[in-house]
Each structure stands twice: as structure tokens, then as C-alpha cells.
Amino acid sequence: MIKMENNFGTILDINLTTRKIQKIKLAPEDIKNFMGGRGLGMKILYDRIKPGQNPFAEDTPLIFMPGTFSGLPIPSASRTCIVTKSPHTSPKKAKYEHSSTVSYSNMGGFIGPEIKFAGYEGIVVTGKSPFPVYLKIEDDNVEIVDAGKFWGMPTDEFDKEFDKELKHEFQTCYIGKAGENQVSYACIISKASKTAGRAGTGAVMGSKNLKAIAVRGTKMPNVANPEKFMKLIDDARIFFKDRTQTQWWRDYGTAGALKPSSDAGSMAVKNYREGTFPDIVNYDAETARQKIWKRNYACYTCHLSCKKSGVVSEGRFKGTIVHDSPEYETGTMLGANLLLTNINDVMKAIYDGDNYGLDIISLGNTIGFLIEAKEKNLIDKDFLDGIDLKWNDIDSVLALIEKIAKREGIGELASKGVKVLSEKIGKGSDEFAMHVKGHELAAWNVHVNSGTGISYATANRGACHLNGKNVEGQNGNALKDSLAICFFATGWGGYDEQQLVDFVNAITGSNWTKEDFFKTGERIFNLEKMLNYREGFTAKDDVLPERFFKEPLTVGEKKGAVLNRKEWEQKMKDYYTERGWDIKTSKPKDETLKKLNLDFLV
Amino acid sequence: MEKSKKITDQTRRKFIKQVAIGGGLTIALGNLSFTFISDEKNPLLKKKVIICDFSICAGCKTCEISCSAYNFKNLAGKQTFGLVNPKHTNIKVHQFNPALDIPATCAGCPDTPCVNACPITINQETGEKALYVKEGTMAIAVHEDKCIGCGLCAKACETERVGVIRRNKETGKPEGLCTYCDGDPSCVKNCPYGALSYVTVDTEYEFFGKSPEEIAKILTERFYGV
Ligand code: SF4
Ligand code: SF4
Ligand code: SF4
Ligand code: SF4
């Protein structure tokens, strides 16, 4: 049984239409069942949206959620999850005009703990301001402030200007031009480098005329069992000190995966046509360390410092600041996936994408898709407003990024992602439109790894590499997103489930076992699934792009690798069975929902 | 206006001169009262202080957390078990864009501009003003009962050195002064990156006494060329 000791149990509720600001006590049952972060955010979402609700409707909530661990000195408890209804996804057969999946996106940095310090389990923003505003939250004082002078400002410049305005005392997150313009894959950024990139949260923020949130808090969360908790903290600090993986994160960050992934054929190359990119050595971790990186830096309480900052030191993009790149996702999506070979080109493309506030993953997909469509003569230069889009061509890439952020010309269509583009273009282009449910795939290819396929096909926000490759992994990840612990500090020699369970028990005073850990994650996952199901998402939407079944890899050691359709179909059946979902429709069975205390969904 | 915070030769000479005049500068160390005849005899030149290797610091704020945990406990007179808000810290990590993190704490200035600025008359028995140098760690500390909350110490530190002194919102009295955790610095012990050390003050050190903004300016140029 979760006790409330650690929890303020309060969310801050702000309506930008009525300008009403409230503190709302959460039902203890909700905290017990959904913890915090992604899970609790989903429950709040469920309580507040109707089936088929337009994500851009005024009453759609945009929910900023730290988690159970936030604000406590647990190493790597730095994350914040943003929950809303996705503006970027759609089912094959829409039940409603605005049918879409749930949206959740997660970022590191410092703002999650700060929200906790201000005394809140989360911040829920609804309504729409008639003019651009930002929120200034200092403990119990909440102000809605005119942001007119900041509207349109690129994220990098805004980060600095906003910090000045706030006298350097606040933690912030914000959108760029893409979010303002409601590009459906716009992101929310913090400290110019931490992005809640995926699933269009930035577009929803833009639809509310909300440029930014600034938070400062002077309170502190408590725990049920302080002695036990501090012992766990001491253990955790020693634990990270002794790990070889800690040094790996510091040396390479996720960029350390670029070369190995290419070698293993699991990288997204040439719009996922290939899995290996020999030129990746031009901007893998070793090269970036030599040419670009100057510092490793970390999120709140983190021992890993996976982030790398630096500067482009030569060529036509000399002087371009590198906030955190290449990392695996950005380096692949705006690098290998577009066959870019020059490190400085890749740094510039990522900088521009971030500076407009675009999700680099969906952006890299969109550009890759259009290059392929043009190469195959399904579209011409006119379709692209005269941009001569081709592989390994930075100028056309940069030109397209700008159009997308501004939603000008081709940018209008391209701002909606590959699914909408392929529907418009037709001519079989859907076979290489790399998305699930309208959400683009991440930087891991599937030919050589059907587990990644499961992660993509079954993720509740549409294709997602952080979803988990099997049922247990997915349940565990849903819970980690709710505790606000970073994935990089769990698994692969990081915290195991038992350590996390021990923390949960010391904080909440409950008696969780590992089983409770996974069951809570399963509850969260099924709640999301039911939210999607009522929008019209069924097993027919849990499908991978045809490319993986039809076009074997032609480059690298994994040449010839391709997914076997029969095996895949069996895998999906097994997955539904293990989940306790109907094999044909993918609907969670009543008994499954009841077992998870989700009776209200039956 | 470029304010010089480094003890340059010129200011050092001035410092010695001031000391020689005698009336100008009295540094009190516990109940031992010193009037300097030359700076070599200044015990504060041997004071150990916290310094940061900015090329290693990753900005994780574990130092803030550890510092708050140790010192807030003492401040509040109650055990908080490390469950603290890092804002109670005496080492504040200032964040900049492009990414730079500058932990700032008391530099341990041997010429104590903060103490000099304190307007409270020296207590003849103890040799101390409201702001004084503590015995042992030689930490700058405040006699809460004597302090009138005028903020002159904070102003002196701000204009001449690091700017570590915060004024209490209600009383105006100084906060944020490093206690060296009674000689066993929590920040140094807990920094996961080994960026901090507890070493004898070096007034020739490039960043001695500089404000985080000044340090950031230099390092931004050095790291990022901008
Ligand atoms: S704990 Fe160490 S690495 Fe972290 S901010 Fe402080 S000095 Fe920097
Ligand atoms: S840094 Fe500030 S508080 Fe510390 S000794 Fe120097 S002037 Fe005084
Ligand atoms: S605030 Fe207190 S300690 Fe500081 S100068 Fe004024 S009287 Fe002295
Ligand atoms: S030595 Fe102690 S008081 Fe001083 S900054 Fe470090 S932790 Fe804080």
C-alpha cells in the first residue's frame, strides 16, 4: 500500500482560456495505481478527454509530469514526462475525425525535480491563451505572462534570453517556431539540449499559445523511511562509481552506438533501406571527440554525463554550437538516414532542427522519405518547391527543414509526417513511409532485429524504440517513465528492478515486490492501450512498413537480412496472447483489465 | 567597467600597505586577534578552500545536494536525511548556454573584502565583527545576534569577488557561506566526477575570486571559440 508521505499529492491546474489557476488534490488511489510521470499523467489524460477529442481543442490537457523519484537525490532521477493526446498519429480506419493515440514524451535535465520542489506532482495546462504567454511558477505563485516579444524566437536564442529575463533562477522548457506553427512533430526543449522530442507535444503546446514554462521551487519531498532511503542513496553512488559502463557513457554517450549499430546492420540508413553505413566513421563517437566535443555534461544528479557539447571548428558551418550531438538518434536520423557523410553538415542539420524545435527523428524520416520518393520519380522538383532534394546534400536538407518549420509550400504537407505525405503521393510510396500509426520509426532498423519491430509495432504512441522489445520490458519501461528514472541508468549494468523496487518502498512505505513493479507498468500500458482502442486503433494498426519484409539488406555483414512474414505474424499473436489481449482485434480482455484494477475500463 | 578581482601585484601592495597601517584591517581568528604586519603572516593564506576543475565538472548538481544536506541539517537544527532542496547550498552550480556549468563557492579571499565591509564594531574580547573568520576551518561565518542584515558583506563579495553571499529574504542576513563542512567537505566527497578538491587557497590561480559569469566568459571563449 502506497502511503502519501512522499507526495504533495497536488497538481497545478492552469486554464489559459479562463486564466483560472487551481491546485487540485489527486485521488490517493490514482497515485497508488499510477505512481507519477507517464502513468499518473495518463490517468489525468483519461479523466479529461473524450473519445475522438481534437488534440488541438482548447480543453485538451498538456500535462508536465515529474515522477515518484523526482526531487530526491537518487542518481539519474532527472526525467520529466509530457503527456497529452497525439496530434501526429491516426488509425487506418478512423472512428472519429480526430482519432489519435496517446502522446507521451520524456526529457532529462532539471525541470522535473524543480516542479517537485515547487510542490507539485505535475502541471496540467488546458485552454488557449488569446496571445502568446509563458507560465512563471514559483512555489505557490503562478503567473501567466505575456510572451509576445519571444514568439518566433529560435530555441537557442530563446534559452538565453528567457534565462536573462528570469534572472537565472528558474528551470525552463519551451517550444520553437515549429511548435508555434503546430508542426505535428514539434518538440519541447529544455536547456537547448534536452528534448521531449517525440509524439508532437510541442505542437499541442503551440496550439495553446504557450511559449514556455518556468519553474522554481523551494520545498522538498519527503520519504517514508529516511534511514533506509539514505542507505540506498549511498549504495547507489558507490554502485555507479564502480561500473565500467559509467565511463563508457562519459566517453561516448549514445554516439558510442553509431559504429557498432552500423556494423550490426541495425542502423537506419537511406530511409531504412539499409542497416550499415560505412561512412559513419566520419561522425562516430571517436571522430566527434576529436573534432567536435569539448565537454561531457549531465542531468540532475546523474553520474553518466552522456551529453556532449562542442562546436564546429572548420568549414562553412564553422562556429555552429553543438549542444549535444551527434548522439545515436540525431546522428543517424539526420546523418546516415540521409547518407550525409560530412560531420559538420550533420551538426548543422541537427542544430537547425533543434533551433526550430522539431523532433529530429520524425524530421529525418520525412526528409529521407521525400528524397527516396524523388529518386524514384514519384514526385518532382516542383512538388518540392524547386528544392533539388537528394542523398548526401546538406543544402537541400537545410532548405527543407526551414520550409517544414515554417509550414511554407511543401513544408505544409511535410509538417504532417510521412504517413500523410505517402497518402498524398500514393503510387506505392506507403511501402517506404517508415511509420507505425503515423509516428515515424526511430534510428534502429528492423531487418536484423524483429524485437525492435515489436517495440515499434506495439508502442502506444506509435513507433517507438524506447517501448521495449517484449511484454516484460514494455511494462518495466512504462513504470520507469513513471518513476522518472533515466533508461540509461537502468538495464545494461545500471539499476536492476530490485534496486528500483527498494527505492519505491523506502519512498512510499509500501511493500512492493518485483511483481508489483511490473504489474503497475502493465496497468499503465493497458490504460494507454484502451485509450487508443476507443479511438479505433486495432491489431490492423500494429503493423510494420512493408520494406522490412520485401527488401533484404544489400550492404554490410548482414546483407540479405529481411523479416519473415510468417514468423512475424506468429510473434504478434504470441505477444497479444501474453498480454491477455484479443488476437484479432488487440483489445485487452475484460479479465486482463480487471486483474490490473482497471475495472473502470471494462 | 572591468572590475579586477584577482589579487594583482598592485592590489597586493595595497593590501600590504593597508595591513601595515594597522587600523585598516583586522582579521580575527577565533579569539586570537591578528593585525598584519606582512601578508606572509596572514593565516588566511594557508586556508584550505574548495576549487573546481571546470573541464571535468559535468553540472550534475550532486555537490549542491550534498552541501544542502549537510549544512541545512545544521541550519535547521534537524535531521533532514539528505532530502533537501539544493537551493540551501553553499556551492551553487551556475548553468550557461553554450553548455557550461560553474560551481561557485567562497574563494577564501585572504584579504576578506566581506569581513572588511561589515560595519559592526569589533568586539574587543573576541576581536570579531558580525562577520568573522571561524577558528579551525577559517570559514567566514556570521554572528546572527550581532548581524543587522545590512547586506554590505554581500555587496562587497558581489562587486569584488565571487558573489556567493545570498541575503536571507526576511532578515537580510548572509547565507551561502561555505562552512567547509567542519573540515570534511561533503561536496568534494560526493562529486561523482572528482571535479572538486579541498586545497590551500591560491590567489594566483586563474579563476581565483572570479564571478561565475566572468569564468563562463573565459571558458566559453576557450571551449567554443565564441
Ligand atoms: S558534483 Fe561535481 S560534477 Fe556535479 S556539478 Fe558539482 S562539481 Fe560539477
Ligand atoms: S568569496 Fe566572498 S565571502 Fe568568500 S572570502 Fe571572498 S569576499 Fe568573502
Ligand atoms: S549583513 Fe550582517 S554580516 Fe553582513 S555586513 Fe551587514 S552586519 Fe555584517
Ligand atoms: S565544503 Fe561543505 S559547505 Fe562548503 S561548499 Fe562544499 S559541501 Fe558546501
Judge whether A229 is closer than 8 Å to chain B, CB to CB. yes
A221/B contact by beta carbon, under 8 A: yes
Least confident of A319-333, A460-474, A573-587, B63-77: B63-77
The backbone torsions φ and ψ at residue A122, rounded to the nearest 5 degrees and listed phi first, read 180, 170
Q: How far apart are CA A192 and CA A543, in angstroms?
A: 34
pLDDT in tens, B67-112: 998 887 644 445 566 678 899 899 999 999 999 999 999 999 999 9
Q: Give the closest-approach CA distance of B162 to chain A in angstroms.
A: 16
Q: Where are the alpha helices (DSSP H) in A433-579?
A: 450-458, 471-483, 497-508, 514-533, 547-550, 565-579
Task: Give the 3-state secondary structure of residue A136.
Answer: strand
Region of B223 please: left (phi>0), alpha (psi -120 to 50) or beta: alpha
Best mutation target, A138, A218, A297, A304, to test chain B (most B CBs within 10 A): A297
For A69-121, write each residue's pLDDT tens digit.
Answer: 999 999 999 999 999 999 999 999 999 999 999 999 999 999 999 999 999 99
Q: Which domains does chain A have, with CATH numbers?
A: 10-216 (3.60.9.10)
Whether A243 has its CB under 8 Å from any CB of chain B: the answer is: no
Q: Do A230 and B223 touch (CB under 8 A)?
A: no
A66 pLDDT exceeds 80?
yes
- What's the Cα-to-Cα distance from A232 to each of A4, A74, A112, rounded to whole Å? 20, 9, 21
Which ligand has its closest atom nearest to the C-alpha of B191?
1
Interface of B with A (CB under 8 A): 55, 58-62, 65, 69, 79-85, 87, 94-95, 97-101, 190, 192-193, 223-226
For chains A and B, what is the number of CB pairs under 8 angstroms? 106
Contact B85 A218 (CB under 8 A): yes
Residues of chain B with CATH 3.30.70.20: 107-177
Note which residues in 58-97 of chain A have CB less than 8 A from chain B: 71-73, 75
- Tens-place pLDDT, residues A310-361: 999 999 999 999 999 999 999 999 999 999 999 999 999 999 999 999 999 9
Question: Three-state SS across A273-295?
Answer: CECCCHHHHHCCHHHHHHHCEEE
* Closest residue by Cα to residue B181 from B139, B130, B213: B139
Contact A217 B94 (CB under 8 A): no
Which ligand 4 atom minimizes the distance to the CA of B70? 7
User: Which of B55, B84, B226 is closest, CB to CB, to A220?
Assistant: B84
* C-alpha cell read off for A320: 555552429
Grid cell listed for A509: 512505505
Terminal Cα distance for chain B, rounded? 21
| pTM, two decimal places | 0.94
C-alpha cell, B189: 566527497
Nearest ligand to residue B186 Cα: 4
Please report which helix (H) or strand (E) contains residue B190, including its range.
Answer: helix B186-190
Among the partner residues B62, B84, B99, nearest to A309 by beta-carbon distance? B99
**Distance of alpha carbon A272 from the chain centroid:** 20
Burial class (CB in 10 A: 0-12, 13-18, 19+), A21: middle
Q: Which residues pair with A15 in a beta bridge?
A: A126
Residues A502-529 have pLDDT tens digits of 999 999 999 999 999 999 999 999 999 9
> Do A301 and B61 make contact, defined as CB atoms within 8 angstroms?
yes
**B212 CA → ligand 1 middle, Å:** 14
How far is residue B125's CA from residue A107's CA, in Å, rounded to a whole number? 57
The Cα A459–Cα A104 span in angstroms is 11
A134-168 b/e (C-beta count within 10 Å ≥ 16 → b): bbbbbeeebebeebeebbebbbbebbeebbebbee
Rounded CA separation A15/A23 (Å): 12
Q: Is B62 in the pocket of ligand 1 (CB under 6 A)?
A: yes
Task: Report CB contact under 8 Å: B99, A237.
Answer: no
**Joined grid coordinates for residue A589:** 480482455
> Which ligand 2 atom lies nearest to the CA of residue B162?
1
Q: What is the pLDDT of residues A235-290, one digit of tens each?
A: 999 999 988 899 999 999 999 999 999 999 999 999 999 999 999 999 999 999 99
Q: Which CATH architecture has domain B107-177?
A: 2-Layer Sandwich (3.30)
In 3-state terms, what secondary structure has residue B177?
A: coil
Work out the angle at residue A117's Cα, subtended by the Cα atoms of residues A523 and B71, and round it to the nearest 5 degrees. Answer: 130
The set of residues, in sequence order, having a beta carbon less than 8 Å from that of B144 and lying 6+ positions away, is B173
Q: Which residue of B has its CA nearest to A162?
A: B97
Grid coordinates given for A530:
484502451
Angle between helix axes A343-356 and A394-406 (nearest 10 degrees) is 0
Return the sign of the alpha-carbon dihedral for residues A350, A353, A356, A359: negative
CA B165 to ligand 2: nearest atom: 3
Separation in Å, CA of A298 to nearest CA in chain B: 5
